[in-house]
Amino acid sequence: MLCSAPRLDIQHYAIQQATQKRYHVPLDNPKRALDVGAGTGVWIMEMASDFPECEFSGVDIAPLQPTTVLPKNCEFKLANLLEGLPYPDSYFDYVRHCMLVAAIPKDHWLPYIEECARLCAPGGWIEMGEFNGRVYEGGPACDRLGDLMQGGLRKRGLSPETTEVLDDLMRQAGLVDVQAWQFKLPMGSWGGSSGMLLLKDMRMIQNALAPMFMSVCGMSQEDVEQQIKQSEEELETHKAYTILRVYIGRKP
């Protein structure tokens, strides 16, 4: 529902511009790295150029676009992260994901982090980047849409609030040297090119979620369209932002 290829690329570049980083762990000549929920594969392809001696793997529940050509040090596999990932123990030096809040049910977060820890080699790093579905400083329409988004996710068994405590779950999974950061991602023209990309991303998310707002939240199509219109106006006139939370932890 939220995984169209153009939107995922827009989101990727917007986050990268806002954070000025492609990764947040202290990488030191990694031999193998895994991107869970790889989407279009854009991250592993960029990293493959940065680390040509590293083997990059991407997994996702949906296939890559037929036109995608991966570098020689990249591979892609179809896999459902909720059913375990098809790699042996301690296989990767670095395991990461970005934005899986709409893919992982509440009671699967800890088992998923434990699965990432299983795949990670001793001394290797795990990184997770997430947002909770809310826009801050946007105005009442943005607040309303944030409530609708979070409520809709909860009704589907998902847990946007869990994305705010992944550092605690990492420690429960046995990781050490756990750290957490928050990045304000600007939305709208006030945020420059990154803000405009995120504004476009949010518009696409809202339009994709419109059927959920109607079916799960009991809204009419007219109500949804009005909420989206008002939120877009607020995003252009306020210094609105969303928060990316990045968590890292090392396997002892």
pLDDT above 80 (res 213): no
CATH 3.40.50.150 for the 5-250 domain, yes or no: yes
Predicted pLDDT at 114: 98
Residue type, 178: V
Model confidence over 2-36: pLDDT tens digits? Answer: 555 678 898 899 999 989 999 999 998 999 999 99
Least confident of 115-119, 167-171, 199-203: 199-203
Closest of 168, 149, 42 to residue 102, by C-alpha: 149
Contacts of 30 (CB under 8 A, 6+ apart): 51, 54, 93, 94, 124
192 phi-psi bin (left φ>0, alpha ψ -120 to 50, beta other) = left
Q: What is the pLDDT of residue 1?
A: 43
pTM of the model: 0.93
Q: Tell me which of 118 and 150 has the higher pLDDT.
A: 118
Measured between alpha carbons, how far is residue 148 from residues 76, 151, 160 in Å? 34, 5, 12
Query: 101-110, 186-195, 239-248: which range is least confident on average?
Result: 186-195
Query: Tokens standing for 42?
Result: 């854009």
Which pLDDT belongs to residue 173? 98
Among residues 241, 35, 5, the alpha carbon closest in space to that of 129 is found at 35
